[in-house]
Every structure is written in structure tokens, then in C-alpha cells.
């Protein structure tokens, strides 16, 4: 039997029936970072995206039994605590961690849910300070939790440092007061025995997001389990939570959730897009569609779902070129491979996020007739109407033309053509929801063109 060793970490926290925070968020975060996640459920919450409705703390002996089962096995390399509920549970968890000498202990001092429900009793907060923090490598309060732990009202940066100093006196080795609830940029402040370090980032979402604190502290824990030093672990986790926020999802009708799998989903979608575009190129090469390629050559663009910038659009650097009926590419498709085609894809997607594939082919009256015969929805724009300020801004012409065609047509069509202009070749752009339907449209056009030509 082959054995694959794995880094393991434990989370002791509450279950979130809505799936966005607590144990569920920790499990996704550890897993997506390649760390095997063991779980001890301390409390069961009933909640959805509108808030926590009730909590049910588990008896401490049930927590002890889960802990015992886990500790009789291979030792975890890190442990995170989240929602613990009450004083008795905090004391039990502290006792168990102390006895088993677990290292890399990260405490997320969950006290109140973002919807305002109390998740740790007052006695629990005191027990956390007295018994759990002295065992911890790091505590990760947000501003409100830092106020509760320190008794310092935080109105300024110096208040935040003061609160961190008070919390450090509990015996915890490092304090990270997160800045997500601050007005400006969400900078996090770390204080340890070496001193202060600020971890900065820009604000990535204006909306409140459920699960942020859990996923951030879980990402730090996962890094520690892999042996990453604390400051580097925090820096990595900060990038990770940024991606989880950008990829946040509306899993319910209320508050959005961070998505710990966002990066994984994106990477696998990128791979799928690459396969789809390469397969399309193989088909076009075999079908010898060179007679559809204009003098300025052609390109194919495919946007990731949610594409917002050029780097989110796959295209072929240096274009697809023709030699008679044969077509060639000089490079493999690349994200950000063509600003030109990306401008069209991004403009289309602003109107219709599900229309993500575009290819330009040459314009002839015969080809336009074929598109009509195929019952494609056809729109156009007139380059002579292009405002001067658009013309002088490099690369903005196609954005303008695409926008113009879509708005005058009233929706995203299958075809956008223009009759060219000074030193601008006339062109047809074929638009589709994905690569498969783009290939079908192009091949249908090509078959009729060959027959009629």
C-alpha cells in the first residue's frame, strides 16, 4: 500500500448550517490549501444568510470524547479554535490543548455574529483570556472583539495598538487585530514580541461578507501546519482571503459568503478554457477555415465567468494567421493574450455575462448574407461616427464599436460587423456563449461559404 503523508490541522468550532462560516468554512479552507482537516464541533448553530437563529452548545464531555479520539491518533500540526459558546467549553478546550501539548494554536475569538447574535458568553470571554490565550501562538480578533478582550475602545490607530498591547499581556504570543471593519483600507495590525507589523491591502468588496474572519484565521492555521513562519503565514493568508472575497458568492438571499474554493474553481475553469480553445483550434485547422480569415488575421477570445480585466480573457498571442485555406498559430493560447479581442469579450460580457466567446472573421457581402440566412441576430456600427477621443485612445475603438452595436440593437447579437474606415479593414465578429457554440457558428458559416463561393 502506498502511503501519502499529509499535513493535518484541527478546528474546534461551531457548525454553521448556512455553510459560510464556522466548521464548514474551516474545512474548505484547510482542504483547498492542501491540509487535511479534522473537526471538533463545539456548538451547532441554526442560521442562514440572514443571520443566526439559534445555537446549541454541545455538552463538554462530547467535546472531550471527540478530542480524545483525535489525540489517540497522529498528532495535528496546528489547531484553530472558533466559536466555543460558553465558559465550560473554553475551559475544557484549554485543558485538552494544554494536556496534549498541541503547537501552532490559533484562537479566533468569536464572540458576536455579524448579525448580532451572541456566540460566546461573558464568562466565556473571561475564560478565553485566562486559560486559552496563554496557550496560543496567535489570536485574531476583529475591532469589536479586540475591544471586548482589552476593554479599550478603538477609535484610532493608537487605540488599536494599545488594545493589542493589553491582549498580549494575557500571555498569547502574537495578536492580530484585523481591519475589515475599519472605514478605510482593511489593514491588519500584528503585535508580537518583535514588535508591530501592518499587513495592508486595498478594500476588495464594499459588501459585508459572511465567513471572512473564519477563513482568514483558518488560512493562517493551514500555513502554520505546513511549517510556514507566522508573519509569512499571515501574509499568505491575507492574499488568500482577498481571493475568497473577490470570488464571494450569493449562496442565499441575504449576506454574501466568502468562497474559500474561489482560487481552485478559477484555476480549474482556466484549464477548461485552455482545453476548449485548443480543441477549437484543432477543429478549425482540420476544417481549413483559412478563407474566413481577414487580412489583419484573426483571433479567438474566451472570457472566464465573471471576467473583468484583460487577464481574465484567453486569446492567442500574435493571432491566428492564414496561408490559403490553412491556418496557423505562433503561440499557445494565453490569458491576457490579446487586448483587442479581450476588449470585445469584456464589453459583450458587461451586457450579457453568459456570452463569453468571440472570433473575428473577414467581411464580405456574401458572408453577411450567409449570416442572415443562418438567422443570426446581426448588429453593426459605423467607424466614421467614432468620437475623436475614442480614436486617439489606443485599443478603445473596439470597445466603443461593440458597445455602440449592442446598445443600438438592444441586446447582444450573434454578429457585429462594420464596414471599416481609414486604414481599418471591414470585419465581422461572431459572438457565442461558449467555445462549443462558437465553433458551431463558425463551421456553419464556413460550410455555406464554401458551397456558395
Closest CA to 86 of 47, 125, 129: 125
Q: How far is the CB of 18 from ligand PXL (least distance, A)?
A: 8
Interface residue with ligand PXL among 12, 16, 78, 256 (CB under 6 A) is 16
Beta strands in 27-123 (DSSP E): 35-48, 51-57, 78-81, 105-107
CB nearer to ligand PXL: give 108 or 403.
Answer: 108
* Gap between the Cα atoms of 357 and 435, Å rounded: 6
Closer residue to ligand PXL (CB): 213 or 260: 213
Name the 3-class secondary structure at 35: strand
Residue 57 or residue 418: which is nearer to ligand PXL going by CB?
57
**Least distance CB 38 / ligand PXL (angstroms):** 17
β strands within 294-341, DSSP E: 300-303, 313-315, 320-323, 326-329, 334-335
Distances (CA, A) of 143 to 121, 140, 150, 151, 238: 18, 10, 10, 11, 17
- β-bridge partners, 105: 79
Cell of 278: 485548443
With respect to ligand PXL, which residue has the nearer C-beta, 48 or 299? Answer: 48
Which residue stretch of 12-20, 30-38, 169-177, 431-439 sits at the interface with ligand PXL (rule: CB under 6 A)?
12-20
The answer to whether 275 touches 69, Cβ cutoff 8 Å, is: no
Candidates 11-19, 128-136, 353-361, 372-380; binding stretch for ligand PXL (CB under 6 A): 11-19
- In the region spanning residues 308 to 337, those forming contacts with ligand PXL, defined by CB under 6 A, are none
* Min separation Cβ 48 and ligand PXL, Å: 11
14 binding ligand PXL? (CB under 6 A): yes
Select the span of 10-18, 70-78, 123-131, 348-356 touching ligand PXL (CB under 6 A): 10-18
Gap between the Cα atoms of 255 and 258, Å rounded = 10
Min. distance of Cβ 138 from ligand PXL in angstroms?
17
Applying CB under 6 A, the span of 16-24, 28-36, 266-274, 360-368 interacting with ligand PXL comes to 16-24
Task: Provide, rounded to whole angstroms, the least separation between the CB of residue 46 and ligand PXL.
Answer: 10
81-140: which residues touch ligand PXL (CB under 6 A)? 82-83, 110, 113
Based on its alpha-carbon atoms, the radius of gyration of the chain, rounded to whole angstroms, reads 28
For ligand PXL, give the closer residue by CB, 14 or 333. Answer: 14
Pairwise CA distance, residues 300 & 313, whole Å? 10
Smallest distance from the beta carbon of 110 to ligand PXL, in angstroms?
A: 4
Instruction: State which of positions 34-63 bind ligand PXL (CB under 6 A).
Output: 45, 47, 52
Q: Is 248 in the site for ligand PXL (CB under 6 A)?
A: no
Listed in sequence order, the residues at least 6 apart from 144 whose beta carbon sits closer than 8 Å to its beta carbon are 111, 112, 181
CA angle 446, 304, 415 (to 5 degrees): 35
> H or E segment at 14?
strand 7-16
116 vs 324, beta carbon nearer ligand PXL: 116
Q: Which of 19, 22, 141, 242 binds ligand PXL (CB under 6 A)?
A: 22
Residues 178-207 that bind ligand PXL (CB under 6 A): none
- Residue 366 CB contacts under 8 Å (≥ 6 apart), including other chains: 449, 452, 453
Tell me the site size for ligand PXL, rule CB under 6 A. 14
Nearer to ligand PXL, 13 or 348 (CB): 13
Cell of 227: 511549517
Nearer to ligand PXL, 111 or 432 (CB): 111
For residue 440, the tally of other CB atoms under 10 A from its CB is: 12
Q: Cα–Cα distances in Å, from 337 out to 299, 300, 330?
A: 10, 10, 12
d(CA 287, CA 252): 46
Work out how close the CB of 79 gets to ligand PXL at its nearest, in angstroms, rounded to a whole number: 16
Under the binding rule (CB under 6 A), the answer on residue 214 touching ligand PXL is yes
Smallest distance from ligand PXL to CB 108, Å: 7
What distance in Å separates the CA atoms of residue 345 and residue 403, rounded to the nearest whole number? 11
Q: How many CA atoms lie within 13 A of 244 on its CB side?
A: 30
Q: Which is nearer to ligand PXL, 110 or 273 (CB)?
A: 110
- The nearest distance, CB 287 to ligand PXL, in angstroms, is 54
| Contact indicator for 215, 20 with CB cutoff of 8 Å | no
Tell me the closest approach of the beta carbon of residue 47 to ligand PXL, in angstroms. Answer: 6
Which residues bind to ligand PXL, rule: CB under 6 A?
A: 13-14, 16, 21-22, 45, 47, 52, 82-83, 110, 113, 213-214
Amino acid at each position: 500500500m502506498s502511503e501519502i503523508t499529509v499535513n493535518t490541522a484541527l478546528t474546534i468550532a461551531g457548525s454553521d448550517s448556512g455553510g459560510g462560516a464556522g466548521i464548514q468554512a474551516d474545512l474548505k479552507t484547510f482542504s483547498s490549501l492542501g491540509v487535511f482537516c479534522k473537526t471538533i464541533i463545539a456548538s451547532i448553530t441554526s442560521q442562514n444568510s440572514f443571520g443566526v437563529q439559534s445555537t446549541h452548545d454541545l455538552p463538554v464531555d462530547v467535546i472531550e470524547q471527540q478530542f480524545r479520539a483525535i489525540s489517540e491518533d497522529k498528532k495535528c500540526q496546528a489547531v484553530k479554535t472558533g466559536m466555543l459558546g460558553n465558559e465550560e467549553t473554553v475551559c475544557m478546550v484549554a485543558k485538552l490543548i494544554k494536556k496534549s501539548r498541541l503547537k501552532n494554536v490559533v484562537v479566533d475569538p468569536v464572540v458576536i455574529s455579524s448579525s448580532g447574535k451572541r456566540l460566546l458568553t461573558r464568562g466565556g470571554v473571561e475564560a478565553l483570556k485566562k486559560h486559552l490565550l496563554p496557550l496560543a501562538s496567535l489570536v485574531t480578533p476583529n475591532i469589536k472583539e479586540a475591544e471586548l478582550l482589552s476593554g479599550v475602545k478603538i477609535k484610532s490607530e493608537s487605540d488599536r495598538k494599545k488594545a493589542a498591547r493589553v491582549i498580549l499581556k494575557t500571555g498569547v504570543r502574537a495578536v492580530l487585530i484585523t481591519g475589515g471593519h475599519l472605514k478605510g483600507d482593511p489593514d491588519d495590525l500584528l503585535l508580537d514580541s518583535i514588535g508591530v507589523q501592518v499587513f495592508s491591502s486595498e478594500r476588495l468588496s464594499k459588501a459585508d461578507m459572511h465567513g471572512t474572519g473564519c477563513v482568514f484565521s483558518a488560512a493562517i492555521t493551514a500555513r502554520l501546519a505546513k511549517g510556514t513562519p507566522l508573519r509569512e503565514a499571515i501574509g499568505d493568508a491575507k492574499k488568500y482571503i482577498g481571493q475568497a472575497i473577490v470570488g464571494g458568492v450569493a449562496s442565499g438571499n441575504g449576506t454574501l459568503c466568502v468562497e474559500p474554493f474561489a482560487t481552485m474553481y478559477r484555476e480549474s475553469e482556466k484549464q477548461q478554457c485552455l482545453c476548449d480553445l485548443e480543441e477549437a483550434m484543432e477543429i478549425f485547422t482540420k476544417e481549413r477555415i483559412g478563407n474566413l480569415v481577414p487580412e489583419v488575421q484573426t483571433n479567438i477570445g474566451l472570457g472566464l465567468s465573471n471576467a473583468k480585466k484583460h487577464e481574465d480573457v484567453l486569446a492567442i498571442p500574435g493571432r491566428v494567421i492564414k496561408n490559403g485555406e490553412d491556418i496557423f498559430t505562433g503561440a499557445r493560447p494565453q490569458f491576457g493574450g490579446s487586448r483587442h479581442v479581450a476588449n470585445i469579450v469584456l464589453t459583450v460580457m458587461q451586457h450579457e455575462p453568459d456570452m463569453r466567446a468571440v472570433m473575428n472573421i473577414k467581411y464580405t457581402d456574401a458572408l453577411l448574407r450567409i449570416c442572415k440566412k443562418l438567422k443570426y441576430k446581426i448588429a453593426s456600427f459605423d467607424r466614421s461616427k467614432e468620437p475623436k477621443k475614442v480614436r486617439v485612445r489606443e485599443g478603445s475603438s473596439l470597445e466603443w464599436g461593440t458597445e455602440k452595436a449592442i446598445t443600438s440593437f438592444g441586446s447582444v447579437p450573434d454578429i457585429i460587423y462594420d464596414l471599416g474606415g481609414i486604414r481599418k479593414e471591414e470585419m465581422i465578429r461572431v459572438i457565442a456563449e461558449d467555445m462549443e457554440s462558437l465553433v458551431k457558428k463558425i463551421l456553419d458559416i464556413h460550410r455555406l461559404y464554401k458551397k456558395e463561393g
